[in-house]
Structure 1
Amino acid sequence: MSTPFSALHLTSSLLFILSFAPHHSISSTATSAAHDTMFAGQSLTINKTLVSRHGKFELGFFTPGNSRNYYIGIWFKQVAAIQKKKTVVWVANRNKPISADDSSSSEFKLLENGHLVLFMSSYDSNSSPKTTVWSTNSTTSTAMNDSSVKAVLGDDGNLVISSSSNRSTVIWQSFDHPTHAFLPGLKLGYNNLTKTGSKLTSWRNSEDPSDGIYSFEWWADRTFNIIWNHSFKFYTSGVWNGRFFSNVPEMHVGYGLMSSFEFTSYNDGSYAFTYFLSNKSLPLSTFMDTSGQTKSIVWSNEAQDWTMIWSKPLRHCQVYGVCGAFGVCRENNVDSSLCQCLSGFKQRYPKDWSLLDYSSGCVRRTTLQCGNNDSFSKMPNIRLPQISPSASALVVDVARKCESACLQNCSCSAYAYDTNSSSSGGSNIRCLLWYANLLNIEQLAGVEGNDLYIRLAPSQSRLGNSRTKSSSRWTIVVVVLSGTTILLGITILFLLKWWRRRLARRLKQESPYAFLTAFRYKDLKIATKNFSNKLGSGSFGSVFKGTLPDSTPVAVKRLEGISQDHKQFRNEVSTIGLIQHVNLVRLRGFCSEGRKILLVYDLMPNGSLDRHLFHQNHSRILNWQQRYQIAIGIARGLTYLHEECRDRIIHCDIKPENVLLDATFSPKIADFGLAKLLGREFSRVVTSMRGTVGYLAPEWTSGVAITAKADVYSYGMMLFEIISGRRNLKQSKDGKTWFFPTWASTKVISEGQPVLMILDNNLEGNADVEELDRAFRVACWCIQEEEFQRPSMGQVVQILEGLLEVNPPPILSYLRAMVETEEPANFFSEIDTSESIQGYENNN
């Protein structure tokens, strides 16, 4: 089978290939291959491991993160070889670690009676007995006493103790004792005889695999549920309907990875659930995460990292108690921190927070004195905590009485008005009070939340009063200076500037997002002169040129086919607004009024790439150096979307029309994130959406899952057009359709013609031949029919920058079925100045 690279990530690629090779030899070092079997009397020490038959899983001692404690666990071996860190799926002694001082004297041993035992020796004396840290506690009725037992680590990640002579005699297996991960083939469910259900428990944090506060439990009602602190259920799957759980409808598409789900019911009322993979060698795991979310992750060869394909709940802030007591959750926070402490509070355990474990919450900086001198800090746009035994509600006739009621109770931590009742100035105001710890606070991105008033100590109050007094003094100074300025006279220039600022402010209404502007529709209508100057149209709507009152030129996209409510739309837009990269068009703001949905971008003075490639009127012919840098810039932008930004995005409609050029002809990708914004979910989910004919990857029409490799295919098609300066699809006078990539690959690869023959004739051969050959090879590899043969966009960047070498690609023979197999003489050698063929774009 052909591969696109001869030295792509040479070291990591060799490690990855070797990690899949079968291991049959035994070694005393952790870095060498080991057997998959341990017989009675044998043991593993700190530098020995078991490796499954085909090298997928490894078992041995490990230390999580920067911890100095040691544990026995099972992890994905081939992934660990690449990432230099272990993705652990099972831990034996999760709540009984071995210290670094005791690690060298510890051993994991299979006894003759069929027990696997983790021993730790004492340093008191050489004759001291070994301490048992952990044991399988296999039942003596099935254990062997004739030294005929063995422990085998399977390629499914299951550690099985059985009889050496009869493999079907299973004494113990790790699949019966899962810790936090749900691997394919492992059965979870409920035993109605013992009244117990399967349970997965999260790690405490990334450096501590001990039991965390979140658990994934299977109940008698045939549902799986996520539980906080062993007491509160905040998510349920719903019941099994024969194909999927009612609250997880996306299961029926199988994410393009899971070939089948099995739900088995038994006569005694018990049940079991499991799933299987279509590709058994693919590293994939479902687990109870420390974040409180149940997640499924799959290893991505192109990204050399894990990709999350599923999570419940969908949002972090939907997890109960995710930020702990007095912590506030901000889903779309500009910085990377999900949780922050309320005003007047500090992190209880900063080290835990640095490990993204916020469950310890926050504590007051200053203890409350329980008096009327306490004050309250107002937090706007809050999704209020749930009413619970630690909260109460009362009805008051004056808003001030709500604050007074909280002050009179020493345990009261906060209060709020119920906005669903009458206004705070009217009668019969419903007042909500919270006592002791305050959990589950979320600050919303919009303005739809409530105001929450947090109780602060007198010292915090004085600080606030001091700031108020300082602010008042500053106000007085400003007023005096303003009066003096008025007496001296205000110049005409100042008046004009002041008026322009005021006019600019009128253009926009108050935005709930600090980084975006919420425009009014009537102001955008004026800015675009009633949408009279149309720049173009595409899959998501039409684009119009506009000018803001401060003379800033903008491009206004009027979206079509919006399927979300306005709250969801604003949340999605806020996510897109956070995505910033030098090769992505900047989103300035939006408008959402009724059915009028618009996005406002920076205007790119040199228009779209297609104008310059296909030589439209008044366009400039790009030289080779410009084209090559444009190709690299586009690849960098897509790499950021696929691999680097917080919310990874598949563009789904890469083409020259969606690449804009700034004043220096640097490329900017447009329309990123719009597929998701319009309610079209992609990452590993089958979709019926279609982009533009001529750039669509084969998987769009085959019904399989769409991944980032669909963008790679579209990029390859566009790279051919950057090289040749002509459309890939062309019609002859007799109506036949010809496909340029097939013709080009046949001429250059099969017939050995010089690569310069496919260059745009307008460049008259002026191009760096090495760069041209490299771009041609990349384009061919990008449009391979099989996804796994296409490089990732990160690899494309490295190839184009000359950091990696690329092998000659195969001829694109599969594409011949799409078009005519023979082309007329000189059909593609003629200078192409035509527009795109009729019907070339098919934007659904």
Structure 2
Amino acid sequence: MYPPKILTLLFFLPLTYSSSRLTMNKSFALNAELGTIWRNNPSLLHNISPDDNFSLRIILPKEAFMTSVNSYYNSIPSFACGFFCAGAVSTCDDYIFSVLFVSVYSFHAEVYFHSPEVVWSANRDHPVKENASVQLTELGDLVLYDADGTQVWSTNTTEMSVVAMNLTRTGNLVLLNHVNTEIWRSFDHPTDTLVTGQVLQVGQKLMASTSMENRASGIFYLTVLPDGMYAFAGTDTPLAYYQSPTGGTVMTNKSAYVALKDGSLEVFTCFRDTEAPDYQIQLPRDNDGPVFVRLEFDGHLRLYQMPNNSWASSDVFDITDPCDYPLACGGYGICSNGQCSCPDAAIGQSGLFELIDQRELNRGCSPIVSLSCDSAQKPRLLSLPNITRFSGVYNWTTSEEQCKLSCLNACSCKASFFQQYDTSTGFCFVASDMFSMISVNAQSYSSNFSSLAFVKVGARHKSVLSKGKTAIVTVVASSLIASVIGAVLVVLRRKRGGPLEYEDIINQLPGLPTRFSFLKLKSATGDFSTKIGSGGSGSVFEGQIGDMHVAVKRLDGMSQGEMEFLAEVQTIGTINHVHLVRLIGFCAEKSHRLLVYEYMPNGSLDRWIFEKHQEAPLDWKTRLRIIADVAKGLAYLHSDCRQTIAHLDIKPQNILLDEQFTAKVSDFGLAKLIDREQSSVMTRLRGTPGYLAPEWLTSVINEKVDVYSFGIVITEIICGRRNLDYSQPEERLHLVSVLQDKAKNDQLLDLIDPRSTDMQYHLDEVSRMMNLAMWCLQVDSRRRPSMTEAVKILDGTMDVETELDLDLVNLELMVANRAVRGNIAATLQIDSILSGPR
């Protein structure tokens, strides 16, 4: 694998300053009491110079700020709180409520301050306008309202006995109770910056801005995990591009933290007799001015040192490789020893890419011919030797040719990266987002090492003249084709006596299940009166059609076209297996899309294993039968259909139980068809956090992702809890991590559901099922069994594999699961919406 990257850190002193005169009035205060209201307008202390490139209205400066206002030729950087807008004073219209560093000095009875540095903001993703307001309500809640009265942000502290607000000397905006205890702290809600004295705890993160001009949350973040400090790129499937070199472990420690102390960034992961950090990044101190650390919009972490007087000099200290962060040279740029170039220029070609900014090479490159899935011209790949990317994740093993084809055949792919260490083993990564690429020195590796990038480029026209000719021909041809089509339609309509209808298409499609009218299903469900479930794509209602008890799913927010919906109904309608929920019929009428399924009276499995049912918990015999039923249903999908069908969302909510507790797999909304000759396919991330296999991080998957999810479900059935349970203590939050720890210490039976009484009488079977689960949970998908093999194990005709890798936890997958949990409630980037009852 490519060696781990080191995060670049720049120690930065502000290079330029702009000054502004301040005005003062009675709104100026050091703290605030309940009922105080501040309006975002010039009634607040503010800058008035039209030459400023910012607008600042201050509500809470501290004592040091006041001292510098009243001092002659004195500049002491201090904290202030107020409304900030990055733009000319005359045109500013998007303000964020912020805590800032402000350097203030007076000259000839006038007061000036340097360009402020925002270190915390409440509403970075939702700026407010002129005359917005901040209120410390009588109930003790700090609330931000926009000018139209819309509530934008709140501390939600109405029940916490807040009596006052203050801004501490360290820049911590706090709400206090009557004994001055801090009830709410801005330090506990970091944005992109840490100031001296602030601590970043496990699970908290710094989120970079979108760009230098846009302070909204971007795609890079830095966080603390139990084994150290990490930086990640991406939001849906984050990839680590930095890890602090510390000695903590994921399994044992929940008290890791990062702190900015005395001019150094310190990482703590282990309890020791001394207070020495595991890792420390020291700032070369040229003065005693305050410091803060910020994760920049390009993924670069920088330590800033503010000057301790108005005339401090500026220095920049670069202590690591300037190529080791995702946008060192912008999108598509290649970084080599800190120098940036475009992909074609790196291999002596031209005409394929152009610099975004000729004066700033680190802004990146853009393709001259844009890529389009609809283009008649097929794209090609530009091969770049000795090139890699910021992340060392290459966990798809394949050949160089297959790595190239995987990108060419996937519209979303922009480049693929291939590394080979010997003549037999190669690793591929397919990228749909283009960050900077990095030039590597192949001579520092073995003679068999190679690192290649294949960048997708669009097909070019030969000349401007040919473009013009092509355009003319295209216009003429388009007109001719349109005329022919129009004539054909006229003839067809005359023969049929009316226009062609969508109904005609439906009637000619073979293999569709029964079609119902919308009024029929509306009547069958009593006008959709009895709701029995819901999912990411719609709601499920109980219904009766004749003597048939049914579940009707009404799909919401249709993203498919009519033909795509019908094709999917046609495919799923042909599946018939005792352990798959049966699709009885459908409705496709105007904007209505409904699916009719067989009714499953005992609902979904999660009702029976995650919380105590009104009856007794499931006995071991029933749990074991459910495991076997699910295995048989998946084996049918994977092996017995014309095409392999990967379900992609196996979880207890999608396993339904009939009156005899026979289990049936439901919800094929995310399913992917895989041709038999294909060993894998590339697809966007689908599924549910907690059930995603590690290979989803590469977007190249096969049916083995279902095997991994099946292993999670077995573990949950035996343990009686969810894989990701955020009500658990930190060390038990992730069930697979606990399973890994127990397996290594030969304590697997400690995990048995404590509510079950009879599992203790079947310990051999329980242990066997746990071993099957761990076989299914192997990080390397090639080491997992097929579902057909799982069925044989459950039937007793095959033994469980005993030589297992007990390192079951994939750290990047854990972080991805946590990231998506906060952003997407149920499923991720759904390609299709056909869905069974949940």
Identify whether the pair has TM-score above 0.5, normalized to the shorter chain. Answer: no
TM-score (norm 1): 0.38
**TM-score, structure 2 as length reference:** 0.38
